[in-house]
Chains A and B, each alone.
Chain A
Amino acid sequence: MQKLFMIKYGEISLKGNNRKLFEQKLMQNINLQLRGVPHTVIRRAGRIYLQSKPPFEDTIRTVLKKVCGIVGFCEALQTEKDIEKIGEAALRIVGDLLQNRPAASFKIEARRTDKSFTHTSYQIACTIGDLLRSRYEQLSVDVSRPDWTISVEVREKAYVCGPVVGGTRGLPVGCNGKGLLLLSGGIDSPVAGFLMAKRGLHLDALYYHTHPYTSEQVLHKVKQLCGVLSGYIPHMRLLVADFTDTQLAVKERGAANAVTLFSRASMMHIAARIAPRNGALCLITGESLGQVASQTPESMHFTGSFSPLPVFRPLIGLDKEDIIELAKKIGTYELSIQPFPDCCTLFAPKHPLIRPDYTALKQEFAQLEMDDLLEKTEGKVRIVEF
């Protein structure tokens, strides 16, 4: 009898002829995210299984919950195709589960792809269900809303699986190419990155550092945020661009109430040029409609026009509360709310433009003669690996 994790994936199974590619990506990501942990990932008859050893199981459970593309996983025992062995496995699984709670309801779901097996699916369910009930008095059967669903699958081998633990869902990171996330250190941008990673986008993050106007603590916070995101995005890198000269030029040359928009325009411009050099073909921002002055349709029309690459804004239709809930779920919230601002008050206009005139502002920006500075900033990028 061998213990293993059975990994379930949803959307990938819809991918027709590309399914194998998606599965391979998923396996590759599981291996990457479990580097340093002894394990083996196997693909067998349209399923992914993971084998490991006892001291590492907790780590594996934590990691599998974060691998994009996994709908859920369960801990299973692989056994011979023999109804008695299957019964033994079911008793062991339920025995383990009962160590953490005194009583529970359960149901058995049985499937067999091997039609030559001695018992039909229905017979398997009845036999194993009776066995469990006769051994453990504290168990009751509930087929509509059970506490535990124990599944038995008879395929090339027999598998008895415990309850399914939910995963992150979505698609494996990297199966949809790569993007560049504009990461600020606030609540929104890490969530935006997570949502795009969940759609299979591999990410690097770009942070604009404005020393001495912003502190090293913000940079440290951004690194910590990347650390959390790298739990979902294997091999994520942080690019740190020195933005001080650009920021000062915008402040000195631009109209006071347009400073934020000009800064963001510069950020878009730089990001769109850094991205392709790092294999990224789209930008991701944490903008949410109407949240601040630079996130109105007019403002985003202006700032977005500085990127020839598509700009994805996955939070655009979300309320702040929804974003906070997601941030808490993915583990970035507590880091994001540390009180180190990513923009110095010096560069935040008291009365920023809310609905800028697109043409006028484009002309205004052109007059700032920022090209040389923007190009210089594009060249001043440090890379931090995770």
Chain B
Amino acid sequence: MREVYLDWAATAPPDPLFLDIMHETATRYYGNPSSVHRAGTDAAAVMEEARMRLARGLGCLPETLFFTSGATESNNMTIQALVKRALVLKKDFSAYTVITSAIEHASLWEPAQMLKKLGFGVKTVRPDAGGIIQPGALARLMDKQTAVVMIMGVNNETGAVQPVKELVRGVRDFSAASGKNILFHCDLVQALGKLPLSLRDLDVDSASISAHKIGGLKGTGALYLKTPANLDFLSVGGGQEKGVRPGTENTAAIAAFAALAEKQQPLIRPHLEQSREKMDMLISEIGTIPAALIFPECRTAAADAHYSPYILSLAFPPLPGEVAVRILNDHNIYVSAGSACHSHKKERTRVVESMGVPKALAECMIRVSIGPATTSEDIAAFLQAARKHVAARSRIGGPRSLNKPQHTTGPRHSAGPRRHTG
């Protein structure tokens, strides 16, 4: 049976170009970029060229990009920089407040919770029912203590595209009025290579990206810093990446990352159009499956610019998401679950719960994420399996109780996303 990979938001299948460039760079430019001899300087030149190419695509200056091990590290670095600043200035941690959104990826949410434990002020801005952070909601939370605002570009679970430009403008307006310089950090992992992106245009102070989401190597990414001098980082060592991220650079993976980003740049818009068509097909067909629900309920057509046409969240309640994933896996279709049955932790369902979805329903969520190589046949295979195997399994349930008045058994009747009816 053919494998249908619909988990591109988790990681993209490797692009053949990346494998070629990795091989060539690793073989020819094996020197340590910090070494003084030619093997080293050649490797350094390859890396600087990669930085330049990547910067061109992202709409920023090469000297504002720093290679890291990926977005998790990049996100953590910005948070840790805040801790270092407070320590160096010997200021009370409570003098700093971080505003983060309730829909952030764990790689930013968890470090923010760590800040809270350390004594920093941490405020959370909630999304609206559509999973979008409204500038007004952010404005209500900012005050004189606010040091950093951290809001992602595209949500990895719902595909909700955040109005980053408007959010940044709100922060700048508040800064101008209060005289307080507030930094804006943006996790752009799900935007890279998917949506047209210009860091200059977005005007964020820092941003995180990851190579493997566009077909590159896992363990490679970058941190963008509009004004590198604004942040001082915790890790120290050999001074690589101008001291921002010490450690010998992975020249081959970096070169491949930049080449991939460059290759994909002119394809972003055509791919976006193609994906919109596929997502339209997916959304309208899901609408004909009575057992299926889409998150958020207001998402109806992929043409809606508020949602990435690469990501869709849906559910077949009361079937737990993890079970739906296993059923699809049995038919060689790979998607991911928003939450694992085993975890009673809030973390697993935090994002959709923050949109007002009841926990029981949030636990039923699965995520389908597509990429440029996804075909209409892939979508059709998913829909067929969803209809025939997943939806069918969601229709089980005991009709009544013994010795007691009848009670409902699950989230079937709860308020929340709209159940699509044929």
Instruction: Tell me if A257 and B401 are in contact (CB < 8 A).
Output: yes
Within 226-257 of A, Cβ neighbours of B (below 8 Å) are at 248, 251-257
CB of B400 closer than 8 Å to a CB of A:
yes
State which residues 361-413 of B face A: CB under 8 Å: 363, 396-404, 407, 409-410
A357 to B404, CA, bound (A): 12
Which chain B positions have C-beta within 8 A of A256?
Answer: 397-401, 407, 409
Stretch at the interface among A9-17, A172-180, A268-276, A343-351: A343-351
Best-surrounded residue of A252, A253, A256, A340 (most CB of chain B within 10 A)? A256
B346 sits at the interface (CB 8 A): no
A88 proximal to B (CB < 8 A): no
Whether a CB of chain B sits under 8 angstroms from the CB of A140 is no
Partner of A254, one of B319, B322, B398: B398
B116 CB within 8 Å of chain A: no
- Shortest Cβ distance from B325 into A: residue: A212
CB–CB A344/B323 < 8 A: yes
B203 at the interface (CB under 8 A from A): no
In the bound complex, residues from chain B placing their C-beta under 8 Å from that of A213 are 323, 326
Counting CB contacts under 8 A, is B330 at the interface? yes
Please indicate the chain B residues that have their CB under 8 angstroms from the CB of A361 in the complex: 402
Contact B402 A341 (CB under 8 A): no
For the A-B complex, the count of residue pairs with Cβ-Cβ distances under 8 Å equals 76
Determine chain A's interface SS by DSSP, over half rule: loop
**Given A251-B397, A256-B409, A341-B341, A212-B330 contact (CB < 8 Å):** yes
Are A251 and B396 touching (Cβ within 8 A)? yes
Residues of B within 8 A of A212 (CB): 323, 326-327, 329-330
Whether A257 contacts B402 in the complex (CB less than 8 A), given A251-B397, A344-B320, A345-B363, comes out as yes
Within 8 A of B (CB), among A324-367: 339-341, 344-346, 349-351, 353, 356-357, 360-361, 364
Say whether A346 contacts B319, CB under 8 Å: yes
Whose C-beta in chain B lies nearest to the C-beta of A211?
B326
| A346 engages B320 (CB within 8 Å) | yes
Q: Is A120 on the interface with B (CB-CB < 8 A)?
A: no
CB distance B320 to A350 under 8 Å?
no
1/0 per position for B147-161, CB-CB distance to A under 8 A? 000000000000000
Nearest residue (CB) in B for A338 is B342
B343 within 8 A of A: yes
**Chain A residue, CB-CB nearest to B360:** A345
B221 near A: Cβ within 8 Å?
no
Q: Shortest beta-carbon distance, A77 to chain B, in Å?
A: 53
Q: In the assembled complex, which residues on chain B have CB atoms less than 8 Å from the CB atom of A340?
A: 342
The chain A residue sitting closest to B402, CB to CB, is A255
Interface residue? B338 (CB, 8 A)? no
Give the number of chain A interface residues (Cβ < 8 Å): 29
Query: Is B33 part of the binding interface, using a Cβ–Cβ cutoff of 8 Å?
Result: no
- Chain B residue numbers with a CB within 8 Å of A74 are none
CA–CA, A38 and B340, complex, Å: 46
Is A258 in contact with chain B by the CB < 8 A criterion?
A: yes
Q: Nearest Cβ distance between residue B169 and chain A, in whole angstroms?
A: 43
Cβ distance B349 to chain A, nearest Cβ, rounded Å: 13
Contact present for A351 and B319 (CB under 8 Å): no
User: Is B318 an interface residue when CB atoms closer than 8 A count as contact?
Assistant: yes
Nearest B residue (CB) for A216: B326
A259 within 8 A of B: yes
Determine the distance from Cα of A286 to Cα of B323 in the docked complex, in whole angstroms. Answer: 26
The one of B319, B330, B398, B404 that contacts A259, using a Cβ cutoff of 8 Å = B398
Judge whether A345 and B402 touch: CB under 8 Å. Answer: no
Inter-chain contacts of B330 with A (CB < 8 A): 212
Inter-chain CA distance A360–B401, complex, in Å, is 13
Closest chain-A Cβ to B215's Cβ sits at a distance in Å of 28
Closest residue of chain A to B340 (Cβ to Cβ) is: A339
In B326-355, which residues have CB < 8 Å from any A CB? 326-327, 329-330, 340-343
Q: Which residues of B contact A121 (CB under 8 A)?
A: none
Residue contact B407 to A350, C-beta cutoff 8 Å = yes
Query: What distance in Å separates the Cβ of B413 from its nearest Cβ neighbour in chain A?
Result: 13
Residues of A within 8 A of B402 (CB): 255, 257-258, 353, 356, 360-361, 364
User: How far apart are the CA atoms of A351 and B323 in the complex, in Å?
Assistant: 22
Q: State whether B400 touches A255 (Cβ < 8 A).
A: yes
- A351-B342 in contact (CB<8A): no
- Chain B: which residue is nearest A210 at the CB level? B323
| Complex A-B, nearest 6 residue pairs according to Cβ-Cβ distance, in ascending order | A212-B326, A256-B398, A339-B342, A257-B401, A255-B402, A256-B401
* A/B interface sample: 30 pairs, CB < 8 A: A212-B326, A213-B323, A248-B396, A253-B398, A254-B398, A255-B398, A255-B399, A255-B400, A255-B401, A255-B402, A256-B399, A256-B400, A257-B403, A257-B407, A258-B401, A258-B402, A339-B342, A339-B343, A340-B342, A341-B341, A344-B320, A344-B323, A346-B318, A346-B323, A346-B396, A349-B398, A353-B402, A353-B403, A356-B402, A360-B402
Q: Which residues of B contact A (CB under 8 A)?
A: 318-320, 322-323, 326-327, 329-330, 340-343, 363, 396-404, 407, 409-410
